[in-house]
Structure 1
Amino acid sequence: MHNIATVPDFYPIIVDLNCVPSMLGLLCHDNSDISVSVIDLIQELTDVDTLNESEEGAESLIQALIDNQIFSLMIAAIERLDESVKEEADGVHNALAIIENIVEFRPTVCKEVAEAGFMTWLIKKLKVKVPFDANKLYASEILSILLQNEPENRKMIGELGAIDSMLQQLAYYKRHDPNQQEESEYMENLFNSMCSLLLERENRDRFLQGEGLQLMNLMLREKKKSRTGALRVLDHAISGVDGANNSAKFVDILGLRTIFPLFMKTPKKSKRGGVTADEHEEHVVSIIASLFKNCTVGNNAGKQRERLLAKFTENDHEKVDRLLELHIKYYRKVEEADQRLEREMRRSKEKLDDDEVYVRRLQDGLFVLQYVDYIILEICCCGASTVKQRVLQILNLRGGTLKTVRDTVREYAGNLGDEEDDHEKKLEQEYLLNLVDKF
């Protein structure tokens, strides 16, 4: 049968001959060697490079596997395998590869995979206190894939109470750096999964109750490799209207003492662990902007807001100086990006539509500039009068103007409320335009 995997054009024939139910029937054979051999065969048949060679063959095989309940049969098979035996551990690895292959070929099956019991198995697998190995890494990868684009899976994992166990897995990296490259990938996969989970409102409350903020805060202070992932998770946890409770809590647990040193000085490359200086600054600025948006007088967070504003008057307004340094840096980046875009469009004589141009500009620094300028407006309009004087003084010295700040925030507001029914975006848009007028 392994020879068939080299000729995917023959896949429709093995489907017509009813080979698929026969193969899947052997997955739960009493003899584990047979189960492992069948898993190995299916892994070869579904290899993505092989599938891409014949669209018709791939379609027929994948459909037949799904129709014959491959996911639930696979879960039943791997639950019987003993991973302390090398051959059986390889069988589990190949089973995970089959899931990855099918999901890559047909992303819409993510929900089916989770419902067949894979989500529960993955969580259990990551929880087990065994030494780190290749299967644990692969399980974390599959989990990250299943959560990425499927809201139902994200809700399911929250309901299974798995956010707590994921925080426990991450807690190890608060004081320990991963020992090898593979373990670093494992840690990153866990952080990616946590970021996906925080896209759902219910999961943010579970994250808050599970003391996820306290853990991220400690990770940021420990200066280990986990700091970068913790920064991303924190950004996801407090962004948007759903992040209001997390924002208030973050200020209460003295998170400002953690985030502002990272704002004042971007860590050296070795301490940032794989992210660029720009990515680091983007997360930090985004977190501070989210705190301003969510700690408003209206939602009983007046005290937190006062503490946030007070930060910008400390130590002779050093944070205002840093904010304007970032404004000038990203304003120049956006100017250069605009010139590049213009040259590109002239050369190719192709007209990009407004949305494409805007997305390109966001990627080239406009995203950070919008947040920096929004924070400038907040501290000038709501903070001490000395703050605005300092802002004007630095802008005059560096040849900048208030108009550039106003224009950036106006453009930001203009691109918020496109969808008629998005009430929250409309409110944010009004708030930003009021700030500009007040400024």
Structure 2
Amino acid sequence: MVDFKQPLPVIKRRNSNSKNSDPEIFREDNKLLKLDENIDEHSQEFSSTILKRLLLSLQKKININQELRIKYPEQPEKFMESEIELYEEIQNFSVLATAPDLLPEFIESKVFTLTIQLLAHENADISSAVVQLFFELTDDEVLTDFPDEANTLIEALVKDNFILLLYQNIIRMDEKNADDSTCVHSTLGILENFTSLEPKLCETIVDSSEFLPWLLGRIRVKQFDQNKLYASEILSILLHHGEIISRKLGEMGGIDSLLRSLAHYRNKDPKDSEEIELLNNLFDSLCSCLLVKENKKHFLQEEGIELLIIMLKEKKMASVGAVKVLNYCFTGGNEFEACKKFVDQFGLKSLFPKFMKPPKKFIKGLEVNDFEESVVCIIYDMLRAFSENSAYKTRVLGKFIESDMIKIERLVELHEKYFEQIQKCRKAIEAEKMELQLEGKKLTEYDTARFEMKEYDAGLNTLRLVDYLLCYLCASEVPEFQVRIYKLFDQKQKRITEFLATLEDNIKDLENASTEDTDKAARDVKAMKELLLKIKR
């Protein structure tokens, strides 16, 4: 039997006098034979007339190839020439990407479905050409200005099972072959285009194919390359667009795949910026998964906490991502078991050095302010997770007693840093509000939301968390905490009354803030009020 998956020979234009040509099938109109001559490569306009000619020509090439394959199934030399022509014709058709307004005409033709079906063609070079064609046709940068055409194209592709055929094609690719590797990259590009044009397609991609397990398998490959990076990016995008996909990933053992992929960087740094991006995508994917409560159980069972502690110890770039993942793991429900396991595995010893001094190396999208917020939030969540007389809470509080309570000094430093940043931010906001009034403009809801976002960017949430910790320490059963905190504020020429006033402002902000988790906000407000009253006594 002939292996039809072998790559085509070097593409050359068919010689009309070829001995292998079948005269009955290759007899075409002179107009179609001169089609390329009628299309000026440098013409400024790709017209409907030219499209119709291309459609007719492509349909004939498809039919010719099918007939020859049926007629000479054991004689590839009889149909090879027709496949070369079909390959060329598909490539020529990419000119349609320059005229998105003509896409509906292509979709309404029979050729549209025939072209999609070529993804299942026995010759992988033909299916690869189709992948490249649709990669160009779905280019989100081009289709952004043609929303109606984009929607029509996506709906038609989904209807014709394009995503399933795309998956069935990618699994037969051998990435050791350069052409097949390019096809895989273009396939991932199509998925990215889909999710950019219509985010709801993320669930369709997962439901109508096995792309999700394929992506998990692809990121497990040890050797780094562009397709591994791209696969990690697509996985991150899919998981970012809904809990349904994250839950499905957890059910198929995907948490283990993510942890194994991350374990590669537990004791070494990425080699370059692209590998850093891969690491960032893997951490983002894991964070998205941990938004689902069921996945936290999988995470604990697969020893995710242990891996993060190792990363914190090693002090490599992955330690930054480990802090980010811990922050997600300790919030959103079921945090007690995660916090308990973290303390049991001596994670506090690795975490607090990060609290005292942020690392110098940061992964993309995470800066020192974000890192400090994550670390403070982790400590805050542990204190909230453990009951008042719990041995675990005592162990957390014990870290603030060590080394002459130097960690309390760090808390006061953080309070001072973020308090000043917020004050500076609010002065700028007031100036902007004044400018709007002078221009006779009213403050809109958009303006209010924008100003709130500026405060958060300046570190408002971090300030609240730091002040909560200071408040908790002051009201704890360790009287030395309050003495030290008061003394530190005096040394910095800041009255403790100002600190308490800031706490009251934080409480008011929390009461007035709009949040999805109203129960959590109410608990936080109640806890802060009780602590504040305890301090004032």
Q: TM range, normalised to the smaller chain?
A: over 0.9
Q: Flag the 1:358–1:242 CA change in 2: closer, same or farther, 3 A.
A: farther
Task: Write the mapping of 1:358-437 to structure 2, written as runs, cut at 5 A.
Answer: 358-398=452-492, 399-401=494-496, 402-415=499-512, 422-437=518-533
**Does the 8 Å contact 2:511/2:522 carry over to 1?**
no
- The one-letter code matched in structure 1 to 2:330 is I
Name the structure 2 match of 1:314: 402
Query: Which of 128, 131, 138 is the equivalent residue of 1:46?
Result: 138
Q: Flag the 1:82–1:386 CA change in 2: closer, same or farther, 3 A.
A: same
Whole-angstrom distance in 2 between the partners of 1:383 and 1:310: 12
Q: Flag the 1:165–1:418 CA change in 2: closer, same or farther, 3 A.
A: closer
Query: Which of 296, 302, 315 is the equivalent residue of 2:387?
Result: 296
Root mean square deviation, CA, Å:
1.8
Name the structure 2 match of 1:127: 220
Name the structure 2 match of 1:71: 163
Whole-angstrom distance in 1 between the partners of 2:370 and 2:520: 27
**Does the 8 Å contact 1:20/1:64 carry over to 2?**
no
Q: Flag the 1:359–1:383 CA change in 2: closer, same or farther, 3 A.
A: farther
Tell me the CA shift for residue 360 of structure 1: 2.5
Q: Flag the 1:79–1:418 CA change in 2: closer, same or farther, 3 A.
A: closer
Task: Write the mapping of 1:238-387 to structure 2, written as runs, cut at 5 A.
Answer: 238-267=330-359, 269=360, 271-273=361-363, 275-297=366-388, 302-349=390-437, 350-353=442-445, 354-387=448-481
Whole-angstrom distance in 2 between the partners of 1:21 and 1:422: 50
1 or 2 for the larger relative contact order (CA 8 Å, sep ≥6)?
Answer: 1
Give every structure 1 segment of 4 or more consecutive aligned residues whose post-TM-superposition deviation is greater than 4 Å.
352-356, 415-419
Name the structure 1 match of 2:14: none
Whole-angstrom distance in 2 between the partners of 1:118 and 1:400: 59
- The one-letter code matched in structure 1 to 2:524 is E
Whole-angstrom distance in 2 between the partners of 1:198 and 1:179: 27
**Count, aligned residues:** 432
> Which SS does the other structure have where 1:53 is aligned?
coil
Whole-angstrom distance in 2 between the partners of 1:240 and 1:383: 28
- Determine which structure has the larger helix proportion and give its number: 1
**Does the 8 Å contact 1:241/1:294 carry over to 2?**
no
Normalised to the residue count of structure 2, the TM-score between the two structures is 0.77
Normalised to the residue count of structure 1, the TM-score between the two structures is 0.94
Deviates more, 1:15-24 or 1:204-213: 15-24
Q: Does 1:215 align with 2:310?
A: no
Q: Tell me, which stretches of 5 or more residues in structure 1 are unaligned?
A: none
> Which SS does the other structure have where 2:310 is aligned?
helix
Whole-angstrom distance in 1 between the partners of 2:382 and 2:408: 16
**Does the 8 Å contact 1:12/1:60 carry over to 2?**
yes
Name the structure 1 match of 2:54: none
**Does the 8 Å contact 1:240/1:290 carry over to 2?**
no
Task: Write the mapping of 1:130-279 to structure 2, written as runs, cut at 5 A.
Answer: 131-267=223-359, 269=360, 271-273=361-363, 275-279=366-370
Q: Flag the 1:211–1:255 CA change in 2: closer, same or farther, 3 A.
A: same
Q: Flag the 1:304–1:212 CA change in 2: closer, same or farther, 3 A.
A: same
Tell me the CA shift for residue 290 of structure 1: 1.1
Whole-angstrom distance in 2 between the partners of 1:272 and 1:136: 21
Q: Tell me, which stretches of 5 or more residues in structure 2 are unaligned?
A: 1-92
Tell me the CA shift for residue 412 of structure 1: 5.0
